[in-house]
Amino acid sequence: MIYIFQQLLNALQLGSIYALIALGYTMVYGILAMINFAHGDLFMIGAFFCFLIAVYLHLSFVPTLLLSMLGVACLGVLIERLAYKPLRNAPRVSAIITALGVGLFLENFTLALSPYPQHIPELITNTTWNFGSLSISSLQIIVIVLSLVLMLVLDFIVHRTKTGIAMRAISWDKTIVPLMGVPVNKIISLTFAIGTGLGGAAGVMYGLAYPVIDPYMGIMIGWKAFICAVVGGIGNVRGAMIGGFILATVEIMVAAFFPSTYRDFVAFSLLLVLLIVRPYGILGKPQPQKV
């Protein structure tokens, strides 16, 4: 029983990270109807920023986190401006391929600069508390609480502020909303900044939890986070959070009770079943076909 509880705690930690990345996918999708396949690699860049800042600037945890988030957010906005914006009226798939290209560029550029895996120094003194056979580390608590805070802030922004209303309005209709005086380019940039910034934060936290980082780490985690976004219902912020926790729980539980090599197999099979049962994700609504 306690074993299961311990695993659930691990799932909560991994799920927080997945959810943070999934949010980036979902936000960009919601506003541009475009899958930003470079997002997983921006997550990786977040981890590398964390490494650079911690090693060369010797900053402590909080400034490292903030600077990494800022750096990744700037990069995200830059990518949007340079690579995606010219394609806003092009066929949708060209934007997706561009995103794949940007992702490959980020991976290989990082690889060219740092051919070997790097090790992130310990930024927080990690203490572990034991309750019977249940152990909780301060790192776990920080990851979970921080993710939750970030998600709550995001949820507040999207649902309660004027900017959030503008974001949702643009995702609803891209031709009329600009005529209402909503600064579309600014809102899209802001969406990219927030989405990729959260991905950067996820990168930092992942780097702290699993300190060995390499340029290709973003691929698999990125795709998995994308799956979380879809499972929750892509374009839906709350769905992304739920999707993250579901995938993490399934993965951790499979690894806990079966050989860990079955993890991906079971996770992806479940995903297929779920998509067959609910083709538009848990919180997604099927778009009514207009005929």
Partner 1 sequence: MPLLEAKHITHRFDGLCAVDDFNFTLAPHELVGIIGPNGAGKTTLFNLITGVYRATEGTIQFSGKEIVGQTPHQINKLGIARTFQNIRLFKELTVLDNVRIAYYGKIIYSPLEALLHIGRFRAEEKRIAGMAMELLIIFKLDDLANVAAGSLPYGLQRKLEIARALATEPKLLLLDEPAAGMNPNEIISLMEFIGWIRKTFSVTIILIEHQMRLVMGICERLVVLDFGATIAEGLPAQIQNNPKVMEAYLGEEVKI
Partner 2 sequence: MDKFTTTYSQLLTRWHTLTAHRFFWPVFILAGLLFSIAAARLEILDQYVQLILIYVGINIILTVSLNLINGYMGEFSVGHAGFMAIGAYIASILTVSVFPQASVNFLFPVAILTGGIGAALIGFLVAIPSFKTRGDYLAIVTLAFGMIVKSCLENIDAVGGPRGFLGMDKLTTLPWVFFWTVLSVWVIRNLVYSKFGRGVLSIREDEIAASLMSVNTRQVKIIAFVVSSFFAGIAGGLFAHALQFINPRMFDILKSTDILIMVYLGGIASIAGSILGAIIYTILLEILRPMGVWRMVLMPLMLVLLMIYRPRGIMGLREAKMFVPLRDLILVKILRQKKKEATDASA
* Residues at the site binding partner 2, with contacts judged by CB under 8 A: 29, 35, 83, 86-87, 90-91, 93-98, 100-105, 108-109, 111-112, 115, 219, 223, 226-227, 230, 234, 259, 261-265, 268-269, 271-272, 275-276, 279-280, 289, 291
Query: Of the two residues 86 and 286, which places its CB atom closer to partner 1 in the complex?
Result: 286
Query: Of the two residues 203 and 218, which places its CB atom closer to partner 2 in the complex?
Result: 218
Q: State the minimum distance, in angstroms, from the CB of residue 73 to partner 1.
A: 38
Q: Which does 288 bind (CB under 5 to 8 A by kind): partner 2, partner 1, none?
A: partner 1
Expressed in angstroms, the distance from the first to the final Cα of the chain is 53
Residues 6+ apart with CB under 8 A from 183: 166
Residue 288 contacts partner 1 per CB under 8 A: yes
Residues 6+ apart with CB under 8 A from 109: none
Residue with tokens 């120094």: 121
Residue 130 contacts partner 1 per CB under 8 A: no
Q: State the minimum distance, in angstroms, from the CB of residue 289 to partner 1.
A: 8
Main-chain dihedrals φ then ψ at residue 59, nearest 5 degrees: -85, 165
187 membership: H or E segment, kind and range? helix 184-209
Q: How far is CA 259 from CA 72, 225, 264, 272, in A?
A: 36, 22, 11, 21
Q: What is the DSSP letter of 213?
A: E
Query: Of the two residues 63 and 86, which places its CB atom closer to partner 2 in the complex?
Result: 86
What pairs with residue 134 in β-bridges?
A: 131
Residue 279 contacts partner 1 per CB under 8 A: no
Residue 287 contacts partner 1 per CB under 8 A: no
Among the listed ranges 183-191, 204-212, 241-249, 283-291, the one in contact with partner 1 (CB under 8 A) is 283-291
Nearest-angstrom CA–CA distance, 196 and 190: 10
Query: Of the two residues 1 and 272, which places its CB atom closer to partner 2 in the complex?
Result: 272
Q: Which does 105 bind (CB under 5 to 8 A by kind): partner 1, partner 2, none?
A: partner 2
The residue among 156, 155, 188 whose CA lies nearest residue 169 is: 188
Q: Can you give the binding site for partner 1, defined by CB under 8 A?
A: 288-289, 291
